[in-house]
Structure 1
Amino acid sequence: MAEPTTRRRKPDAQLHPRITELSDSEDLPSGDDISQTKPARTRAKIDDEDRTTTGSILVDILRVITFLFLASSSLSYLISGGESFFWGMTNPPNYLKATWWKSKFSGPLYLTPAELSQYDGTDPTKPIYLAINGSIYDVSSNARTYGPGGSYHWFAGCDASRAYVTGCFAEDRTPDMRGVEEMYLPIDDPKIDKFWTKEEFEAMREKELQEALKKVHDGLDHWVKFFKNSKKYAFVGYVKRPKGWPGTEPRRKLCSEAAKGRKRREIPKEGDGK
């Protein structure tokens, strides 16, 4: 009996034409070669896109930083009036001062004269305060003038309202204005004053007193408005006075410098109502 023969099944060319073709004419690519075809190109494209994206982000960040720098410099130049591009202003506006914002949120301070004296500039850790007509202002931005050795250091750490009118900085470091009007009153002289009747003289003296009081008021008010409207000096608070002040203190004499400006009345001429 003849042995059965084993048939070899030929590749189905219709189902796998490419495999048949490769088996006859060329080697099939290995696993590594297959993995480096389309997926490899995709990864390379992604890497390029990542590098492009990273570069764009860095450029955008640089643009933002440049814009902020230029904006800050321009704003500093405008606010400082051309003084600085980098916020190095000698006298920054109040809204750029920490003490100004602190006073807005914490409310005004109330300091006794003794407490106020601690802010005269001798302690570098404390601001420089001065008061006028009971209101306290921070003058630290002008330490050269109001600090130790400054021309107006007399006003620091106290309410020297009287000195603003009399000009006696050393003697009149006080807010007591009693008697200041005398600097604007003429000196009484019996030899000259006899040319008026008693009634005329009393009316004239009353008029002179009212005019003198107005000059004192206007002189002090000038400086009160100066500090109140100043963009350099921030309002801080008020000075606390003891009950009954200023009657609790002796009345001051007019300082010699202010007294020098007083003059005698002039003898009335004909046609002056006499």
Structure 2
Amino acid sequence: MPAETRGSVRQRKGKATTKADGLPPLNARVTELNSSDDEAEEKLQEEPKPKPTPKARAESEDEYSPWLDIARVLTFLLVASAGLSYLISGGDSFTWGLKHPPKYLRRTWWEEQFKSPLSIPIEELAQYDGTDPEKPIYLAINGTIYDVTANRRTYGPGGSYHVFAGADAARGFVTGCFADDRTADLRGIEEMHLPRDDPEIDAQYTAAQLAELREKELGDARQKVHDQLAHWVRFFEKNPKYPRVGFVKREKGWLEKEPRRKLCDQAEKGRPKRKAPGQE
């Protein structure tokens, strides 16, 4: 092989060992990559981390709240006060002798919270009318039984409302006929608020007008009965002296077996008069 040819071959061979396709040698490229990674890591460490949002902090850690400690202290003081009052009074009071303590400070209220409600048949309810001093005085209204022993003077024998004891006299609470309406049957009771028919007044209306008027009168009467009964239900429900003890137990379909009652005399006499057109 000629010398010129051998030299050119050697030059191309040396060029391949030092540089390929315009890139630096392999060792140099590895060193450059390693140095680039180190610089990126240092740059990442130097960059400040973003602050977590309040939601992220709440989810990642349990933040301290003083309200739990406050609740514990108040509960301890309440229990300690009740216990000290009980000891000093010899077991007579948890509330330092308050005449009308809040219901949550009354022993009977707490007993009711952990006691299953009673289910008393209406016949058995009559035994709790106050005639037996060893038994509490119960009355019911609209199916719910309340203990009214705290007001024995009113609901016990000789009391002004003794007629309501030992019974569910929801009808009597509305009509005011205590002796006659000692029952929970409310059928027809709305008549006490319905105007009586008056031929002279009714003749001033057309047949369509009178029918429309009577429909409105019936709706108003039923609403008045509802409001009157609801008043007494709320009275016993919210009175801390009269705890709820249970419900009246009745046989299915009891109301259909009862004879339909007439409106008592007092309620009948109190019915309003229908007004002439233009006077409503």
Place the TM-score, normalised by the shorter chain, in its bin.
Answer: 0.5 to 0.7
| d(CA) in 2 for partners of 1:157, 1:170 | 13
Q: Does the C-alpha gap of structure 1 residues 125 and 78 become closer, same or farther in structure 2, counting only changes over 3 Å?
A: closer
| 1:125 pairs with 2:134 | yes
Q: Name the counterpart of 2:237.
A: 228
Query: TM-score, normalized by length of structure 2?
Result: 0.63
Shift of 1:160: 0.6
| d(CA) in 1 for partners of 2:137, 2:246 | 13
Structure 1 residues not aligned, in runs of 5+: 1-67, 80-84
Q: Name the counterpart of 1:177.
A: 186
Shift of 1:161: 0.5
* RMSD value, Cα: 2.7
Native 8 Å contact 1:92 1:232 kept in 2: no
Write the letter of the residue equivalent to 1:183: M
Which string of whole-angstrom CA distances, capped at 9 and with x for unpartnered residues, describes residues 55-97 of structure 1?
A: xxxxxxxxxxxxx57x968xx9995xxxxx6x274x5654565
Structure 1 residues 194-203 or 92-101, which shifts more? 92-101
**Structure that is richer in helix per residue:** 2
Q: Superposition pairs for residues 58-137 of structure 1, below 5 Å?
A: 87=97, 89=99, 94-95=103-104, 99-137=108-146
Write the letter of the residue equivalent to 1:263: P
Shift of 1:267: 2.4
| d(CA) in 2 for partners of 1:248, 1:191 | 39
Which string of whole-angstrom CA distances, capped at 9 and with x for unpartnered residues, describes residues 171-197 of structure 1?
A: 111011111111100001222211111
Shift of 1:114: 0.6
Q: Does the C-alpha gap of structure 1 residues 92 and 112 become closer, same or farther in structure 2, counting only changes over 3 Å?
A: farther
| 1:195 pairs with 2:195 | no
Native 8 Å contact 1:162 1:174 kept in 2: yes
Structure 2 residues not aligned, in runs of 5+: 1-83
Q: Percent identity between the aligned chains?
A: 58
Write the letter of the residue equivalent to 2:128: Y
Native 8 Å contact 2:150 2:241 kept in 1: yes
| d(CA) in 1 for partners of 2:267, 2:168 | 19
Q: Does the C-alpha gap of structure 1 residues 226 and 107 become closer, same or farther in structure 2, counting only changes over 3 Å?
A: same
Native 8 Å contact 1:93 1:231 kept in 2: yes
Runs of 4+ in 1 over 4 A off after TM superposition: 76-79, 91-99
